[in-house]
Chains A and B, each alone.
Chain A
Amino acid sequence: MTGQLPVLQVAAPLLCAPLCVLLRSRTVAWLLFLVASLASLTCAALLAVRVDRSGTLRYAMGDWQAPYGIEFVVNGFNTPVLLLVSLSAVVVAVYSRRSVAGELAPRRVPLLYACLCLTLAGLLGLAITGDVFNAFVFLEISSLSTYTLIAMGRRRQALLAAFRYLVIGSVGAVFVLIGIGLAYAVTGTLNMGDLAQRVTGGHDNRSLQAAVVLVFVGLAVKMAVFPLHAWLPAAYAEAPSAVSTFIAATGTKVAIYVFCRFAFTVFGATLVFGAMPVGRIGLLLAALGILLGSAAACFQDDLRYLLAWSSVAQVGYIVAGVSLATTAGVSAAYLHMIMHSVTKAALFATAGLLLLRLGTVRLAALAGVGRRMPWTFAAFVVAGLGLVGVPPTAGFVSKWALVTALVEQGQWLVLAAMLSGSLLAVFYVGRVVEVAWFREPTADAEPAAAPASMVTAIWFLVLLSVSFGFDASLPAHLADAAASALLGNGGG
């Protein structure tokens, strides 16, 4: 049984998806998603423990041995991603029941859960697969279901946001596909480990370099790296709350993982960061993304757009760490991936709760909300401080790691951008806090009581973020293991 864990990890949510549609019951669909995510979390945790003890796990799909069959590989570099995605799914499952009931027409609810199951399956598959074409398939599964989820947003703008993401995301996916095709043409294999072996020595091959460019540009769309971030703000802000919480926590993070996987264990660091200037371009785009994303967040009047723009900036932080291509840098990037995922999920979940209770999350409507809902807003403040990177929150831990990695490499300009980004974060988080705590309330109607399940989910995330801020040894251990697995090239 335990030998089948890697495939169960993906199969559980994938099987639950059609059941959600067939059974057509809101409660059953919700239960199925909850069960699927709990099953994935169990698999991910068991896999993480086994990898930590005995190293790389390989699973040949249908017993067709690699490089001919599809292979699932579990190693230090993807256990944090698997854990992150499945844990977010569990939290979102708890959160979503009441949140979805308040936002969607009842007949659509099972469809939403079906799509959530598919997204979960796609993201987990993307994280676990050891085959480049299979990675593309899972990328499409997760993307297509995400487009649908965003379109379920309650405002008409959601359709536009979903359509925009559909167009941009599909172009990106095609880039990835062409890149994979070129790599296949050059090397004659689709297995990641096999590709890595055949790529060495062919660094002057133009087709291979073109493959690298195409794959990375395509992935950059999914990662929302500046300037390919245009789809992100509206997509995050218009989606139903549960969906934006889930994709803000996981979507871009998994894409970044796939980027790392391709860069370090498929094409190889010597080709990507040595022969080609991907590292320098990455640092430049990261710095610009941090500055412009944070600046744009300062000018938003809607809480969810503000958070979404801040995500664009935070992706920049992670990309900067990866682009350093050092162990410290990649480890810091993983750490920030984990910390930011927890923090941003908490923030979007809080925004969703506010939306449910107030009907709007425009900043002007939030005046004095902190006094009327002190607990909800206290959660927002703590998580918001995590975005700024104030100690002792989770954001500080990862920012510390990133800043150390940058100082070691002497990247002073990126460091300056990163610190300016933090200062801008002080501004945009401070603005929300000030409006909510220190302004007099405008509306006199008491909002409805907060559903306990949503509050539980939010506070779970917030407390997780604070505990990581005080004792970061677990995420730091995961991140270090990931970095050494990627840079030690042991994964294949």
Chain B
Amino acid sequence: MAELITAWTSPDRAVALPVAVAIPLLACCGVLLLRHRPIAREAASVACGLALAGMVLALWPVAGQGLRFELWTWLPGLSLEFALEPLGLMFASVAAVLWPVTTIYAAGYLRAAQEPALARFFAFFALTIASAMWIALSANLITLLIGYELMTLATWPLVAHHGDAKARRGSRIYVAVLLATSIGLLLPAIVVTWVLAGSTDFRPGGLLAGQAGTGVLTLLFPLYLFGIGKAALMPVHRWLPAAMVAPAPVSALLHAVAVVKAGVFTVLKVAVYVFGLDTLRDSGAAEPMTWVAAFTLIAAAIVAIRSDDLKRRLAYSTVSQLAYIVLATTLAHEVAVAGGALHMVTHAVGKITLFLCAGAVAVAAGRTRVSELDGLGRAMPWTFAAFLTATVSIIGLPPTGGTWSKWLMLLGSAEAGQVVPMLVLLVGSLLAVAYLMPIAVRAFLRPPAGPPAHGDAPLVMTGPLVLTAIGCVALFFGADVVLAPLAATLELP
């Protein structure tokens, strides 16, 4: 026992890292074994979720110690290895904490919506979280790629869950875009990196620093950014709206948190540990991509304003907010990158709240369009209060976590002397006001079309979404705690 405790966070063989991946896998097996006993099945899922969340949060004190765990050598010279560093821990914590919350919600939602095949749903849900943990903890690009592809495949049955023609079409686009970009662009980018640097390890200061000329870097960077299709840069963002055919908990946890955050997380990792921020800044390799991200940010926001379907509007809002993080990364300035990393957390908590609310509205009121929401705030006060809080966080106003992430990104772009990107960031926030605020305003201020025929959603659904809304506010006060390990790594002033 004593040996296990020392091994738990020993620098070279930190058992905690593979265990973090194993817990959701265990949950997956547990769900399959208990598939005929619904209560036990979901209890197992939630228990594993709580265990994982507690375990990952307990790793925060040792975030900066560079814990490693080598699984095995995969090919000569290439090994599957886990390592703990601040960015990965942020991503892992977000996914781990929101997983049990969403599982409780999903149990309520799927019953209320009378969805079929719940055991399959929870099993693949757990598998997706396992792949998210794998991605967050990978120590090199190969390990990361394995988790990345696994995640695409594990979410496929979830997107196609309904099984009707529309779900099939959506899932087809989803898988095709994500696999095509990762095999067609990301894999060659990784191979080129390997040939150039002789390694695929994430290295502080950048693996490619001093290994390649400006021309190669300028070509390689877009290959990575478009190859990481999960970061949803235009024109490879099409999978995200297509994935909205999935049930609400999937949209919430996967397409607002795990999957898209895996994308921007990979972008951040590649920029910081493969290229190196200094190399990116000095070579100007990231500059063309700044404009792609800026375009995505504005264009997606405009599409969001013009969408009447609630989930579609939220999907395009996600595309726009992801572009914030990519834009901040391409500025290659430490403060902006820290802001991007923090936005990964604050946007996750905010967007999951919005999607959970959208699901609650769809189940309780049967409404999916923005124009149908007039006056619903009175019938569903908890849901729409949470919605409003999350809206404020996505826009980036106090007292919510989004304030700090947007502030840091603006500050970073100002310090880097990038005026146009800074303006883009500001305009993006204004557009966010335009596409998110009207929803809450309609719900609370417009008179309802008829007398209220229903109350708020059941407690198993409102509970989780109120919790995540409280999370949005908590992040306002706790942002410095979240950023502390990363700030030490990036040597922020």
Contact = CB atoms under 8 A, between A and B. Distances in A.
Interface of A: 385, 388-392, 396-397, 399-401, 403-404, 407-408, 415, 419-420, 422-423, 426-427, 430, 434, 437-440, 470-473, 476-477, 480
Ranked nearest first, the 8 interchain pairs of A and B with the lowest CB-CB distance are: A391-B146, A392-B146, A403-B191, A426-B179, A390-B149, A422-B183, A438-B160, A391-B149
A385 B75 CA distance: 19
A118 B160 CA distance: 48
A470 B179 contact: no
Given A391-B145, A403-B188, A404-B194, A434 B74 contact: no
Interface in B158-194: 160, 163, 167-168, 171-172, 175-176, 179-180, 183-184, 187-188, 191-192, 194
A408 B172 contact: no
Given A403-B188, A419-B188, A385 B195 contact: no
B151 to A, nearest CB: 11
5 contacts: A389-B183, A423-B179, A426-B179, A440-B163, A477-B76
B376 to A, nearest CB: 33
A390 B188 CA distance: 13
B19 interface: no
A471 B72 contact: yes
A407 B183 contact: no
A389 B184 CA distance: 11
Nearest to B196: A407
A285 B353 CA distance: 54
B187 A419 contact: yes
B114 interface: no
Contacts of A430: 172, 175-176
Contacts of A427: 176
Nearest to B144: A391
A426 B180 contact: yes
Nearest to A397: B75
Contacts of B176: 426-427, 430
Contacts of A470: 72, 74, 80
A423 B188 CA distance: 13
Contact of B183 (A392, A426, A438, A476): A426
A335 to B, nearest CB: 9
Given A391-B145, A438-B167, A477-B76, 19 more contacts: A388-B179, A390-B179, A391-B142, A400-B75, A400-B142, A403-B188, A403-B191, A407-B195, A415-B188, A419-B184, A419-B188, A426-B176, A426-B180, A427-B176, A434-B168, A439-B168, A470-B74, A470-B80, A472-B74
B153 interface: yes
Nearest to B160: A438
A388 B176 CA distance: 12
A473 B73 contact: yes
B399 interface: no
B74 A471 contact: yes
A404 B150 CA distance: 22
B157 A437 contact: yes
Nearest to B167: A438
Contacts of B153: 385, 390
Contacts of A472: 74-75
Given A391-B150, A400-B191, A423 B75 contact: no
Nearest to B80: A470
Nearest to A480: B76
Contact of A438 (B149, B168, B187): B168
A158 B84 CA distance: 58
Contacts of A401: 75
Contacts of A396: 146
A84 B134 CA distance: 33
Contacts of B184: 419-420, 422-423
Contacts of A434: 160, 168, 171-172
A476 B146 contact: no
Contacts of B168: 434, 438-439
A476 B75 contact: yes
Interface string B32-74: 0000000000000000000000000000000000000000111
B195 A404 contact: yes
A203 to B, nearest CB: 32
A403 B149 CA distance: 18
Residue from A390, A391, A400, A415 whose CB has the most chain B CB atoms within 10 Å: A391
A415 B167 CA distance: 34
A471 B171 contact: no
Contacts of A471: 72-74
B150 A392 contact: yes
A396 B191 CA distance: 12
Contacts of A392: 146, 149-150
Given A438-B163, A440-B163, A397 B74 contact: yes
Contacts of A437: 157, 160
A472 B187 CA distance: 18
B171 A407 contact: no
Given A404-B195, A434-B168, A437-B157, A423 B76 contact: no
A477 B76 CA distance: 8
Contacts of B171: 434, 438
B485 to A, nearest CB: 29
Nearest to A423: B180
A297 to B, nearest CB: 16
A392 B143 CA distance: 9
Contacts of A391: 142, 145-146, 149-150
Contacts of B146: 391-392, 396
A403 B187 CA distance: 9
Contacts of B191: 400, 403-404, 407
Contacts of A404: 191, 194-195
Contacts of B145: 391
Contacts of B194: 404
B149 to A, nearest CB: 5
Contacts of B75: 397, 400-401, 472-473, 476
A391 B73 CA distance: 15
A38 to B, nearest CB: 30
A215 B192 CA distance: 36
Contacts of A422: 183-184
Contacts of B180: 423, 426
Contacts of B150: 391-392
A389 B171 CA distance: 20
Residue from A408, A440, A471 whose CB has the most chain B CB atoms within 10 Å: A471
B291 to A, nearest CB: 26
B367 to A, nearest CB: 27
A430 B163 CA distance: 15
Contacts of B142: 391, 400
Contacts of B192: 407
Contacts of A407: 188, 191-192, 195
A164 B192 CA distance: 43
A422 B191 CA distance: 15
A288 to B, nearest CB: 19
A470 B80 CA distance: 9
A396 B145 CA distance: 11
Given A437-B157, A480-B76, A408 B183 contact: no
A450 to B, nearest CB: 20
B430 to A, nearest CB: 39
Nearest to A420: B184
Contacts of A476: 75-76
A256 to B, nearest CB: 21
A426 to B, nearest CB: 5
B133 to A, nearest CB: 15
B111 to A, nearest CB: 21
Contacts of B179: 388, 390, 423, 426
A91 B168 CA distance: 36
Contacts of B163: 438, 440
B183 A423 contact: yes
Contacts of B157: 437
Contacts of A480: 76
Contact of B195 (A388, A397, A408, A477): A408
